[in-house]
Structure 1
């Protein structure tokens, strides 16, 4: 710059900076042209020119002469220039770049098609490595570097991998129950509950909760009034029929060898399933829960046909077992016969107001028949309380 005035030197440096104002960031086929003006980059050109012109002039005469002589002989003096940029705008640019290049990972999935198990492969996602990208941009601004740069990314691993899900290769257990399709409201509720608990993937040690799946599906608003059992009495309530779905899934879980964590029977034996094998549910406090006790994932698949609901649980053929479910009525409890007077009936007449029913205690067992010696596992005890038979006798005298 010895042959240039300060103004000429400033102008020349600014020309160079303008030519190196941009660089390209690349990711695959994508290109992003970064302009240093995006972050209000400012180089202190006048300060560096003033500092350069002061060399050989800012000290005593002898020192200045020596400095100029050394420079003429080829020595160099490295000057540190100053620069500024807007940190807030750099953060904003990184956020925009992050959103633009972000790719969500795609999970491997399981589906059942025409009775076959179909597993899709996963795809890894990626996101901008903001910390590295920030360092790269600051370095390129500092070094006035305009060479292309590869955008640094971090790969995102999907939650479900084909290598794991492909181990699902057989049916572990299956169960079906039948219902009356002419009861349209109850049939509607069965279909909704079956859909809400369908296509459920359970990884090792994960827990299936019937109520959580119902709640997460937001189907409650579509439930209709249908027969329900409340405190040992037949009544009507929204969602009647859900328990048939939970009972069907429960039995599929039993046959699949899954660990039963929580099951509660109805207060009245259910007509669609034998005693000791029903699983009632009530949103908020009665739930069906079981866990995947295997080292490989399992998949719950429900189907509803015209008059039956089927639940099938798929898993690894290494976990398939020959299982039998056995129930034992350990106690039959007789009901009482109660007689009541009624002024609604004429003297000498009677009627049965409540038929009543016997009560039962039932134990449920799971028998593993694949072992050399069959292993019997106790599952639960169900209690169905008896209901009194009530007969009304008339006490109203006949009018004369």
Structure 2
């Protein structure tokens, strides 16, 4: 029995030893297999150490398999294409060609839509390193199927230097500006008006063009040409020939008398010559003081008699107040009430008391606005010793009304002025103008 048991145990031991040997062999082979596989995988991954995995893009270009130098080249090329992008600005039948670089662009790199301050070198490193932190198995999956990699899209945006864009547009606007041609009206010897034709001008709409150039980055196909159509705005001439052709009727006139052959008379003639032919469109303002220019020897004026603090004194330009007075009475008869009118310090002899107007540089002026719906043409001339002012306008400018200034004298030094308004010969109303007091002459 002992012998049999001994044999059995010995046999069992041999079987166990055989199994152990087989297991050890299998384990050893397994370890060798995994080490070989790991080494093979590491060797395979090592090949991708310096190149980009899949699912990484610059624009629509996939970077899979590209190294750092290639990625940097593509980045630089994309930025260069942005700077060299052609911008064509067209207006009428003209065109000017520039590039985005003309406007000193600030170019931003976006990673998945988010701005980054990375340099091109850093961006390339970032793209290559992405997914390298994953396990070997995950990296092998990315290598086999690039779409399993972390998706990264590099895009670009830019903004232009606002001051440079504005300066560019301003210069362009000057170059393509077409000034309007103003119509001119003149009264011929046959008392007929002659009107030259006006021509519309053109100017480019600067604000719209600035916006259009600034917004070129909205079209993010950097290889495309940016075509910008400059909008041309029409510039209407102030003096339009169609409006001036409506001037055909004498609507008011007034005259005063003076001694032409005197220094005072010469001053009146000189100032009047500067008013003659004045055209005022509806809403235009007029200042006697400005139009007749400063009363200086250089402007052709002589020393004449003028009022100063109740005295008659010698003054360069003395006498020009008669110009303002004659004009005042002429515009009143056209239904135009002045914006500014000042009385003399003392009464004058050439109009009723209270219907005068004075002009003194810096203190007194006759200013008015053309309140009619038509242009007015002012004819101002002297005929011998008569100073005659006339206002022409459209035949319906006064709409059937007539106007007559009236002075109510209270004393030798006081009067109130009214403007009486008539229609069909009947007094409609009286408009209060002003009440004036005058000084007595000294000495």
TM-score (norm 2): 0.63
Aligned to 1:353: none
- 1:54 Cα offset (Å): 3.7
- 1:125 Cα offset (Å): 2.8
Whole-angstrom distance in 2 between the partners of 1:197 and 1:65: 97
Change (3 A) 1:122 1:244: farther
Are positions 1:59 and 2:134 aligned together? yes
Among 77, 86, 95, the alignment partner of 1:30 is 95
Aligned to 2:306: 228
- 1:90 Cα offset (Å): 4.9
Alignment of 1:247-326 (within 5 A): 247-261=325-339, 262-265=341-344, 267-271=346-350, 273-294=351-372, 296=373, 298-299=375-376, 301-305=378-382, 307=384, 309-320=387-398, 321-323=400-402, 325=404
Are positions 1:240 and 2:318 aligned together? yes
Q: 1:366–1:379: 8 Å Cα contact kept in structure 2?
A: yes
Q: CA RMSD in A?
A: 4.3
Q: 2:271–2:323: 8 Å Cα contact kept in structure 1?
A: no
Is the helix fraction higher in 1 or 2? 2
Aligned to 2:47: none
Change (3 A) 1:109 1:265: farther
Among 275, 280, 283, the alignment partner of 1:201 is 280
- 1:305 Cα offset (Å): 4.8
Q: 2:276–2:381: 8 Å Cα contact kept in structure 1?
A: no
Alignment of 1:10-29 (within 5 A): 10-12=72-74, 14-15=76-77, 17-18=79-80, 21-28=84-91, 29=94
Aligned to 1:91: 163
- 1:211 Cα offset (Å): 3.5
Question: Which sits farther off after the overlay, 96-105 or 251-260?
Answer: 96-105
- 1:259 Cα offset (Å): 1.9
Change (3 A) 1:166 1:152: same
Structure 2: any 5+ residue segments left out of the alignment? Answer: 1-62, 110-118
Query: Tell me, what secondary structure is at the counterpart of 2:154?
Result: coil
Alignment of 1:1-400 (within 5 A): 1-12=63-74, 14-15=76-77, 17-18=79-80, 21-28=84-91, 29-36=94-101, 39=104, 45-71=120-146, 77=151, 79-81=153-155, 89-102=161-174, 103=177, 106=180, 111-114=185-188, 115-116=192-193, 118=195, 120-129=198-207, 132-139=211-218, 143-150=221-228, 155=233, 160=238, 162=240, 165=243, 169=247, 170-184=249-263, 186-188=265-267, 190-192=269-271, 194-195=273-274, 199=278, 201=280, 203-204=282-283, 208-211=286-289, 213=291, 217=293, 220=296, 222=299, 223-261=301-339, 262-265=341-344, 267-271=346-350, 273-294=351-372, 296=373, 298-299=375-376, 301-305=378-382, 307=384, 309-320=387-398, 321-323=400-402, 325=404, 327=406, 330=409, 359=412, 364-371=417-424, 373-377=426-430, 378-381=432-435
- 1:31 Cα offset (Å): 0.6
Q: 1:175–1:310: 8 Å Cα contact kept in structure 2?
A: yes
Q: 2:304–2:316: 8 Å Cα contact kept in structure 1?
A: yes
Aligned residues: 354
Change (3 A) 1:373 1:181: closer
Whole-angstrom distance in 1 between the partners of 2:103 and 2:403: 71
Q: 1:248–1:311: 8 Å Cα contact kept in structure 2?
A: yes
Q: 2:305–2:314: 8 Å Cα contact kept in structure 1?
A: yes
Change (3 A) 1:14 1:286: closer
Structure 1: any 5+ residue segments left out of the alignment? Answer: 334-358, 391-400
Change (3 A) 1:95 1:328: closer
